[in-house]
Amino acid sequence: MQVIQNIKNEIKKAIVGHEKLIDSMLISLITKGHILIEGVPGIAKTTAVKALANAVDLEFKRIQFTPDLLPSDITGIEIYNPKTNEFQIKKGPVFTNFLLADEINRAPAKVQSALLEAMQERQISIGEENFYLPEPFMVLATQNPVEQEGTYPLPEAQLDRFMLKVEVGYNTLEEEIEIIKMIENPKQIIPVANKEDIIKLQNELKNIHIDEELIRYIATIVNETRHPKSIKLGEYIELGASPRATISLVNASKANAMLKNKDYVAPSDIIELIPLVLKHRIKLNYKAEADEINKDLIIKEIIEAIDIP
């Protein structure tokens, strides 16, 4: 679709390379999902999110997660007004279309959990009142690798609410040279889509056909992470992916087909996204670390073991 290509073109005015990241952000937007972006500092994670927000004419807010952040700093709080002798609601930055949770794993679990209700129910409870978030609403979180000092691992319940997790690496040498040229001659990103365009894209998702055999294939892939029968590395899995992973993979595959200007899902559309949907939802046991078995190896074995329709 032309609107998708227009958004991609604008994002590329600020981002060199990182095609997987750009496509993943658009897939999350189309599917009403959320995305977790992991990588070392300085590789344009935040820049990519800002570029998407600028290309789409929607409200954008950023929260810098720190160890001293409070849940109310995100959601909002009741404030007593002595003049009226009443409590008033002051809404937090979560009330926006695009919420950038920058370095989300630099805040402890109680702060991260403030986003759980917003990401799943798309509402916020403040005091005794519930407030619905604007549509569309999307959380784009960045995090540094957990092995870095001063970070907190995200709880499973928080991770499961992210449709995709994208790991961003360094640019190639040629791309880095292109980045320097871009800084010397920056291009302005202009809005090429609005709220109505995005909602139309989201509604179009239901018109993308996915064959019943492919749905069974997706369900089989996810089920293999819980009850491994076809792989040898199953003994290293402590916790498999939830049903939310199955739903996410179906919807993400349909959005991936849309990005390729197709009205149907092919097996390749699914296989491309399996690591992005499953990797952060699988928990390995202590034996995996001892034997140097990682999630990439397990997911690769699952893909190879399950017959493609």
Which of 140, 169, 184 terminates a domain? The answer is 184
Alpha helices in the chain (DSSP H): 2-11, 19-30, 45-55, 72-75, 109-112, 116-121, 156-159, 173-184, 195-204, 212-226, 243-259, 267-271, 274-278, 286-290, 295-305
Q: pLDDT band for 263, please (50, 70, 90 cuts).
A: very high
- The per-residue pLDDT for 46 is 82
In a domain, 253, yes or no: yes
DSSP 78: E
In a domain, 189, yes or no: no
Same domain, 177 and 28: yes
- Token reading at 175: 């791309």
In a domain, 109, yes or no: yes
- The per-residue pLDDT for 31 is 96
The DSSP H or E segment spanning 238 is strand 237-239
Same domain, 220 and 77: no
Same domain, 165 and 20: yes
Same domain, 162 and 15: yes
Same domain, 176 and 294: no
Residue 30 is part of which domain span?
2-184
Which of 124, 151, 184 terminates a domain? The answer is 184
Tens digit of pLDDT for each residue in 197-206?
999 999 999 9
Tens digit of pLDDT for each residue in 249-258?
999 999 999 9
Which CATH number belongs to the domain containing residue 278 in this structure? 1.10.8.80
In a domain, 179, yes or no: yes
Tens digit of pLDDT for each residue in 213-247?
999 999 999 999 999 988 888 899 999 999 999 99
Give the contacts of 221 (CB within 8 A, at least 6 positions apart): 249, 274, 278, 302, 303, 306
DSSP 113: G
Q: pLDDT band for 110, please (50, 70, 90 cuts).
A: confident
pLDDT of residue 146 exceeding 90: no
In a domain, 172, yes or no: yes
CB-based contact 88:50 (threshold 8 Å):
no
- Considering its fold, how many domains does the chain have in total? 2
Same domain, 164 and 212: no
